[in-house]
Amino acid sequence: MSVRPRYVVAEAWSIAKSSPRQTLAAVTLIALALYVPGLLALLARNLGRLAVSDAGDPAAVVITLQPQADGRALAARLAQDARIRTVRIVGSEAALQRFRRAYPDLGAILAELKEAPFPPSLEVMLQPGAPPAAATEIAGTARLWPGVESVEAAEEFSRRFRDAVSLVRNAGLFLGGILTLAAILSVASAVRLALDLHRDEVGIMRLMGATEGAIRAPFWLYATAEGLLGGGIALGLLYATYRFATYWLARDPHPVLSVLWVGFLSVPASLLLPAAGAAAGLAGSLLSLGNRHTRRVTRIG
Amino acid sequence: MIQLYGVSKKYGPFRDALFDVSFRIQPGEFVFLTGPSGAGKSTLLRLLFLEEPPTTGQILVNGRNTGVLPLSQVPYLRRTMGVVFQDFKLIARKTVFENISFVQNVLGLPRAEQKRRAYHVLKRVGLHHQMNAYPDELSGGEQQRVAIARAIVNEPTVLLADEPTGNLDPVLSEEIMRLFVEINIRGTTVLVATHDLELIRRMGKRALMLERGRLHDPDRSRPESAPIVREAPFLPLT
């Protein structure tokens, strides 16, 4: 026979009410545990947009051309170098389109521009086995050519930037892992405490013929709901932080942050927070409702 | 029906709580289990309602061998038994009705049916006007009657009671015993553990005596000192 859902919900609510402090502590810890990695994920998402090239491979050398320069001729000249795999010609309009795709939130500002603000450029991608100094050497050579405005060996900056974003992302995962583990243990403690408070009742329920499912289901639901609530609060806090930062940057613009800080987490990533909270809660309850808390009848031979 | 064959229970290597206990209780029988404190009465009841396994031996309850019963089936066998304790074991945060209809609630029995059954059993124990009271609002005797109502609400075939009158005065004890007799008359097998020999004398029912974990069943070998008085006057029913 199955357990009645209404009974499970009522009992879970009763458990939550019987130990409000523990419930609050567990919910708070889960919220904090998910807020911190969520914040790092938000940072990584916004910074990451700079690190990821729209066209795929990152350019090792970016050559900015003068408006009247012959981009094709310069590209052909570069292509003769065996260390170079690809030379991409990026016109002013293409650069503007790329920027619009990367920062759709700035579309309104860009639309007001009468002419393309980005000069034409050449992006040089190296062969996979090219020596580390190749980008600098190519940049030094190209800098002397007519029609070249400026040259940047972007490989090193790009790599460092990607590494920084990756570091933020990994730190988020690492901290998130540790804090989630702490949250799971906190929920486990809360459930164990609730179980201790209800130990007599559990014993009576068992003697009255309640199945293990009927006894445990309210505790599972209680812990899962705790996690879900904690995750929801973390999401709310994260969105509040994002809105506050947006407001703050709008009032006092920053040359870099104002450009980068343009988007919140995607809907699936946002929903991941309450889902992770619920999973942590369920894991905590499973941890605390192990077999050692269940008096078993062993078989005799 | 309850049958025990050579049942022993050890706690640790040296303490025998029960030793080679064998007896049979027929369906519909009313039997007392008596003996001094520490004789093993409560241990025997715990084995019967599968709270603990015996160390050796076989136990049959309602035709099911508890030793080979799958764990998943234990709750279902327990539902065929009612249990009454000395300390009532009522859930303080639940009302009388909720305490009684707990299992039906878990199983999703319609609330109206739960109420009907609870009212019916509470009427049998004379507490149908206390459906919405909490255990703390009731006297000891009333709490024990609620516990009995809870034990019989599923219409069990076996009713086990562990010192059910231990916390009650003699007048209330007799009231409770009358209830057990009424339940027994309706066909339920009743096994009551008590150290109150006077009560057993007055009831005039079969008694199994435990002493230091060993059984003195007067039906098999009656010691001279055994407090079995079949000729005692039967308590009048009310």
pLDDT per position in chain B (238 positions), as tens? Answer: 899 999 999 988 878 889 999 999 999 999 999 988 888 899 999 999 898 899 999 999 988 998 888 888 898 899 899 999 888 889 888 899 999 988 788 777 888 988 999 999 899 888 889 999 999 999 888 998 899 899 888 889 999 999 888 877 888 788 888 888 988 998 999 999 998 888 888 888 899 999 888 987 555 544 444 333 333 333 333 3
Strands B15-25 and B30-34: unpaired
Interface test with A, best of B18, B106, B152 (most A CBs within 10 A): B106
User: A7 - beta bridge partners?
Assistant: none
- pLDDT for A122-170, tens place per residue? 888 888 777 877 888 888 888 888 888 888 876 566 667 777 777 877 8
Residue B106, Cα to own-chain centre: how many angstroms?
23
φ, ψ of residue B33 in degrees (nearest 5): -120, 115
Residue B85: helix, strand or coil by DSSP? strand
Q: What is the DSSP letter of A153?
A: -
Do B54 and A4 lie within an 8 Å CB cutoff?
no
- How many other C-beta atoms lie within 10 A of the C-beta of residue A38? 27
Q: What is the sign, positive or negative, of the torsion defined by CA atoms of A203, A209, A213, A215?
A: negative
Which residues, in sequence order, are CB contacts of B221 under 8 Å at separation 6+? none
Report the candidate in B182, B203, B185 with the shortest Cα–Cα distance to residue B194: B203
Calculate what percentage of chain A has a pLDDT beyond 90.
Answer: 7
CB contacts of B52 in chain A (<8 Å) are 297
Gap between the Cα atoms of A234 and A272, Å rounded = 11
Give ∠ CA A134-A136-A138 in degrees, rounded to 5: 65
Q: CA distances (Å), A254 to each of A49, A101, A242, in order?
A: 17, 21, 15
Q: How many residues does chain B have?
A: 238
DSSP line for A99-167: HHHH-GGGHHHHHT-SS--SPPEEEEEE-TT--TTHHHHHHHHHTTSTTEEEEE-HHHHHHHHHHHHHH
Calculate what percentage of chain A has a pLDDT beyond 70.
Answer: 81
Do B58 and A208 lie within an 8 Å CB cutoff?
no
Residue B21: helix, strand or coil by DSSP? strand
B8 close contact with A: CB closer than 8 A: no
Q: CA distances (Å), A189 to each of A22, A80, A195, A227, in order?
A: 8, 68, 10, 13
Interface test with B, best of A208, A215, A294, A299 (most B CBs within 10 A): A208
CB pairs < 8 Å spanning A and B:
74
User: B4 - beta bridge partners?
Assistant: B23, B59
Report the candidate in A71, A88, A85 with the shortest Cα–Cα distance to residue A149: A71
Cβ atoms B74, A297 nearer than 8 A: yes
Strands B2-11 and A84-90: unpaired
Cβ atoms A106, A117 nearer than 8 A: no
- How many other C-beta atoms lie within 10 A of the C-beta of residue A71? 17
Amino acid symbol at A114? K
φ, ψ of residue A183 in degrees (nearest 5): -65, -40
Residue numbers of B between 84 and 103 with CB closer than 8 Å to A: 89-91, 93, 102-103
Q: CA distances (Å), B143 to each of B15, B91, B99, in order?
A: 34, 11, 11
The token pair at B70 is 């799958």
Residue B82: helix, strand or coil by DSSP? strand
Report the candidate in A92, A90, A263, A59 with the shortest Cα–Cα distance to residue A161: A59
Do B102 and A208 lie within an 8 Å CB cutoff?
yes
User: B84 - beta bridge partners?
Assistant: B161
Gap between the Cα atoms of A287 and A164, Å rounded = 36
User: B33 - beta bridge partners?
Assistant: B193, B208
Do B53 and A298 lie within an 8 Å CB cutoff?
yes
Q: CA gyration radius for chain A?
A: 29
CB contacts of A18 in chain B (<8 Å) are 93
* Closest partner CB to A4 (pick from B58, B78, B105): B105
Torsion of CA A217, A221, A224, A228, to 10 degrees: 160
φ, ψ of residue B65 in degrees (nearest 5): -80, 110
Digit-by-digit pLDDT tens for chain A (301 residues) are 567 788 889 888 888 888 788 888 888 888 988 888 888 888 877 776 655 544 455 677 888 888 888 888 888 888 888 888 888 888 888 877 777 776 666 666 666 666 667 788 888 888 877 787 788 888 888 888 888 888 887 656 666 777 777 787 788 778 878 887 887 887 787 778 778 888 888 888 888 888 888 888 998 999 999 999 999 999 999 999 988 888 887 777 766 666 666 678 888 888 988 998 898 888 888 887 765 444 443 332 2
Do A207 and B49 lie within an 8 Å CB cutoff?
yes
Q: CA distances (Å), A103 to each of A64, A260, B123, B178, in order?
A: 21, 8, 76, 85
Q: Is B178 exposed, middle or buried (0-12, 13-18, 19+ CB in 10 A)?
A: middle
Question: In angstroms, what separates the C-alpha of A199 from chain B's closest C-alpha?
Answer: 11
- How many other C-beta atoms lie within 10 A of the C-beta of residue B227? 16
Residue A92: helix, strand or coil by DSSP? helix
CB contacts of B108 in chain A (<8 Å) are 1-4, 6-7
Predicted complex: ipTM over 0.95: no
Gap between the Cα atoms of B195 and B86, Å rounded = 12
